[in-house]
Structure 1
Amino acid sequence: MRAANHARHHERISRFLSLILRHAPDTIGLALDGNGWADVAELLEKAARHGTPLTLDLLRDVVATNDKQRFAFSDDGLRIRASQGHSLRSVDLALQPQTPPDVLYHGTASRFVTSIRQAGLRPGARRHVHLSTDIDTAVKVGTRYGVPVVLTIQAAAMHALGHLFYRADNGVWLTDAVPARFIAFPISRA
Structure 2
Amino acid sequence: MAGDRVRQNKDQNRGKGQSRDVQISKALSLLLRHAAEKEGLKLNAQGYASVADVLQWRKLKSIKCTFDEIKHAVDSSDKKRFALLHIPSSQPTASTSTATTIPGSHSVEGAESTEPDTSTSVLEAPSTAEEQTNTTQQALATTDANPANYLIRATQGHSIKTVDAASFLEPLSLDDESKLPDTVVHGTFHGAWPLILQSGGLKCMTRNHVHFATGPSLESVLAAQQEENKDAKQGAGERKVISGMRWDAQVLIYIDIRKALKAGCPFWRSENGVILSEGLPVFDASGDAGGNAQRVLPVEFFDVVVERKAKLGKIWEKGEVLQELPAHLRSKGNPKNRR
What interval of TM-score do these two structures reach, taking the shorter chain for normalisation? 0.7 to 0.9
Over residues 121-143 of structure 1, what are the superposed CA-to-partner deviations in whole Å (9 max), with x where a residue is unaligned? 11100000100100263896162
Query: Following TM superposition, where does structure 1 have runs of at least 4 consecutive aligned residues deviating by more than 4 angstroms?
Result: 47-50
Equivalent AA in structure 2 for residue 45 of structure 1: Q
Over residues 17-76 of structure 1, what are the superposed CA-to-partner deviations in whole Å (9 max), with x where a residue is unaligned? 011101012454321112211001111133477413221111111110010111101253
Unaligned runs of 5+ in 2: 1-17, 88-106, 108-149, 174-179, 217-239, 280-296, 307-313, 316-322, 327-339
Match of 1:133 in 2: 214
Please give the TM-score of this superposition, normalised by the length of structure 2.
Answer: 0.49
Q: Closer, same or farther in 2 for the Cα pair 1:74/1:163, shift >3 Å?
A: same
Q: For the Cα contact (< 8 Å) 1:131–1:174, is it kept in 2?
A: yes
Larger radius of gyration: 2
Q: CA RMSD in A?
A: 2.5
Q: Does 1:18 align with 2:29?
A: yes
Partner Cα distance (1:110, 1:160) in 2: 30
Secondary structure, aligned partner of 1:141: coil
Moved more, 41-50 or 106-115: 41-50
Q: Return the match for 1:97 from 163, 167, 171.
A: 171
Give the deviation of 1:173 after TM superposition. Answer: 0.5
Moved more, 180-189 or 54-63: 180-189
Q: Return the match for 1:117 from 190, 194, 197.
A: 197
Q: Return the match for 2:301 from 182, 185, 189.
A: 182
Q: For the Cα contact (< 8 Å) 1:108–1:142, is it kept in 2?
A: no
More helix by share: 1
Q: Closer, same or farther in 2 for the Cα pair 1:150/1:142, shift >3 Å?
A: farther
Equivalent AA in structure 2 for residue 179 of structure 1: P
Q: Does 1:143 align with 2:245?
A: no
Count of paired positions: 182
Secondary structure, aligned partner of 1:115: helix
Give the deviation of 1:151 after TM superposition. Answer: 0.9
Tell me: higher relative CO, structure 1 or 2? Use CA pairs within 8 A at least 6 residues apart: 1
Secondary structure, aligned partner of 2:259: helix
Partner Cα distance (1:71, 1:13) in 2: 12
The sequence identity of aligned pairs, in percent, is 34
Q: Return the match for 2:51 from 40, 58, 69.
A: 40
Secondary structure, aligned partner of 1:62: helix
Q: For the Cα contact (< 8 Å) 2:74–2:82, is it kept in 1?
A: yes
Partner Cα distance (2:211, 2:60) in 1: 33
Q: Does 1:173 align with 2:245?
A: no
Q: Closer, same or farther in 2 for the Cα pair 1:113/1:149, shift >3 Å?
A: same
